[in-house]
Amino acid sequence: MVKVLDTILSQSAYSAEIDVPFEKIDIADWLFTLPEAEYLRCCPPDHIAAGVTWTDDSRRMSINVEQIGSGLVVQHYVAEVAEPAYCRMNSISDVFTANGRTQVNVVWELIAEKIDDGRTRYTNKVTAHPTDVFMAFLSEHSIKFEDAAAARQAAGGDHNRRETPLFAASIARRALSK
């Protein structure tokens, strides 16, 4: 059992405005019908693979494989909330580094907000928390938490900054195709 700590390892939120009425946006529909090729276009070259599945207890899941900084990350996002204007996804993510494999808890929030009758703001918020496995990994490799957090903040923030406008454009294309 992986215990997630309340400590924040990294956090970033970026927004992009799209020329689509709020009422046409359905983030949950977009997320759970996203073709892998479209996912790859949303943050090249970092995005590697994506798919959707279900947990054993029938909750929707999005599996994302991506390079974030020097780590290869396999996200196992389980939907805690999956609505047209808000999704909250939670993952115990496997991270493969030069020092070996570890895990972090990542919460991904996808948020749509009405700006006016024809425009919507999309916000992509990502918060990473250390797990007990991650803390043991740091100790085993004599890595200070502060150093790991700074590296994750820089890499995760850069990744989120680049993918947010591309996610927003993809969400807009999906909304306009319906």
Q: What is the pLDDT of residue 4?
A: 56
pLDDT digits (tens, 9 = 90+) for 58-87: 999 999 999 999 999 999 999 999 999 999
Q: For 78, phi and psi rounded to 5 degrees?
A: -100, 135
pLDDT digits (tens, 9 = 90+) for 119-168: 999 999 999 999 999 999 999 999 999 999 999 999 999 999 999 999 99
Residue 1 has pLDDT above 50, yes or no: no
Residues 6+ apart with CB under 8 A from 139: none
Of 110 and 7, which is predicted with more confidence? 110
8 φ/ψ sector (left φ>0, alpha ψ -120 to 50, else beta): beta
User: In whole angstroms, what is the distance from residue 77 CA to residue 53 CA?
Assistant: 10
pTM above the 0.75 mark?
yes
Amino acid identity of residue 44, one-letter, is P
Residue 52 to residues 19, 63, 114, 153, 162: CA-CA distances in angstroms?
A: 27, 6, 28, 27, 23
Q: What is the pLDDT of residue 3?
A: 53
pLDDT digits (tens, 9 = 90+) for 27-49: 999 999 999 999 999 999 999 99
Say what percent of the chain tops pLDDT 70: 97
Query: Is the peptide bond between 45 and the residue preceding it cis, with omega within 30 degrees of 0?
Result: yes
